[in-house]
Every structure is written in structure tokens, then in C-alpha cells.
A = this chain, B = another copy of it.
Amino acid sequence: MRVLITGAAGMIGRKLTERIARDGGLGGRQVAELHLHDIVPPHAPDIPGATVSAMTGDLADENAADWLIAPRPDVIFHLAGVVSGEAEADFEKGYRVNLDGTRALFEAIRQAGEGYCPRVVFTSSIAVFGAPFPEIIPDEFHPTPLTSYGTQKLVGEALLADYSRRGFFDGVGIRLPTICVRPGKPNKAASSFFSGIIREPLAGLEAVLPVPRSVLHTHASPRSAVGFLVHAASLDGDSIGPRRNLTMPGVAVTVGEQIEALERVAGNNVVRLIREEPDETVWSIVRNWPTRFSAERARALGFVAEEKFDQIIRAHIEDEMA
């Protein structure tokens, strides 16, 4: 089978590439071609018996999408996008990359014609939701994004569902919860501390906690995120039905429970590296984020995340620190 990954140089893209390389395939089918695309050069691993290509460019450029789907990939993972903070800071860039880029890809597939109908897996986000929320957000809750990023993801979801209904491709949109523990360094995202308070102490570094321990949030590990993508690639489209966008499961915990899990996994000496330093600005943002999801449809369709935050920490230790 032929596979295309857009945004292949990003954190999830890299891990998905590694997973496909390790498995040598996807959903039990061998990969013959793996095409990797991003705005910066993605790393192309060796896969015995498969052709792996790495391409660089802007998906929203004219003809870029036509060129990308020229090999007629059977599965397209559309991960490319400008992140939340950048889409908010640069309105035009966010719409160009996240909306126009996505639409260009979808249009290129539609216009390919000749019965071409790939599986398209689109990474959406819980940023499609905006406060106020019920205690548990049901699958039928309306998306009312409070960021341009969330708006662009919502538009992508709507197009995905319509293009799938029309039979132009067979799409699955997966709304990722916050990915934790993110490897790498702290960044300026308001959500950075959710990973930082685990990752930094495990590495022997101090971490700042800017919000109260009562803050509740839903997390899934990078390993689970890749699992969602791989599962979505081989789901039966008919079993999904016309509602093609699914809120993924995750572990809903308070920050206090995150820290308790860290203590269980790594001990009190590690936890002592967390310094509480309230930051009203960060809290005012985080306060409006969704807390807990039912994710019933995704679970029924076989999407699996961690059950406990301890497992998320252990996945980080195994995958990043081994």
C-alpha cells in the first residue's frame, strides 16, 4: 500500500513515521511506498522493501497538492498545520495553511477522479470546543471554537464530512486531546506546563506549575496519538457513518493527580522539583479549556488511550528516556 503523511516533520508525524517503519506496514498491510511531506525536510527512514520519499514545500501553493497525491496514496495522514499560538498571532498564515492547505489537498483528491477514493485521516483538535462546557462534554456537543486555530480545524472537519459523504474520499477526523508528555523543551504555549511538570523533573530539572492543582484536563500520550492515527487508517468507513469527526479518548486528571502519579512512578525527590508559581495569564487561558469528554463513539469504534496517568508517564520514560 501507498501512504502519504503531511506534516511529517512534526512531533506526531515523526512518531507516526517511526511506527510505520517499525511495523513495516499499516493495519496488517505492507507499505510499498511511504511519502513524507512537510514545510521543513522530514526524516525518511529505511523500510526494507519499500520506497520512502521526503518532500518539502507549502501545501497551499498552487499545484502542490496535485503533486503530493500523484502517487495515488491509499492512505493519507493529513497532519500538516500551523499550531494554535501561531494561527492566533498570524491570522492570514493560519487561514492559508490550516484552511486553504487542507482544502487544496481535499480538492486535489476530488479532482483526481477515476474512482480514486483514499482513506484520509485528518488530525483535528479539542480546540474546536469553546467554553462554557458541561461537566462532561458529550459527543453531540456543539463546537464553538474560541481561537482561529479551532475555527480552521472545525472547517476542516466540515469539509472532511462533506467530501466523504460525496464519495470523493473516505475520511476520518480525529480530535486529539492535549498530548502529554510532549518530548523536547518547554515552549511558550499555555499548555506547555502540563508536559513540563512531568518531563523536566524526570530529567532532573526544575519545572514551574503556573495554575492551581485543581485544574482538570484530558491527556493522551504521543504513543496513543499515533495509535489513534494507525487505528483510524484501517477503520471500516461504513461503521463510522456520516459523522466522520470523532473526539478521541484520554485520561482526565487534575494537575494534582498528575503530580501524585509522578510521585508513584518516580518518587518524592522528583516531585520536589515542581515549583508552584501562579501565573494569572496562563490560568485565564487554561480556565476556558475543555476538561472532560465522554468520547463514547471513539471508544466504541476501538480507539484506545491510557486508562491512568501513570501509564502516560511510563510511556514517556520508555519512549523518550530509554
Contact = CB atoms under 8 A, between A and B. Distances in A.
Interface of A: 91, 130, 134, 139-146, 148, 151, 154-155, 158-159, 161-162, 165-166, 242-243
9 contacts: A130-B242, A134-B140, A141-B142, A142-B142, A144-B161, A145-B158, A151-B159, A151-B162, A158-B158
Contacts of A151: 158-159, 161-162
A241 B19 CA distance: 44
A168 to B, nearest CB: 9
Nearest to A134: B140
Nearest to A154: B158
Contacts of A165: 146
Contacts of A144: 161, 242-243
Contacts of A145: 158, 161-162
Given A130-B243, A142-B143, A148-B162, 10 more contacts: A91-B166, A139-B142, A142-B142, A143-B143, A144-B242, A145-B161, A146-B242, A151-B159, A155-B158, A158-B158
A127 to B, nearest CB: 12
Residue from the set A130, A143, A154 with the largest chain B CB neighbour count within 10 Å: A154
Contacts of A161: 144-145, 151
Contacts of A130: 242-243
Contacts of A148: 162, 166
A146 to B, nearest CB: 6
Contacts of A154: 158
Nearest to A144: B243
Nearest to A130: B242
A82 to B, nearest CB: 14
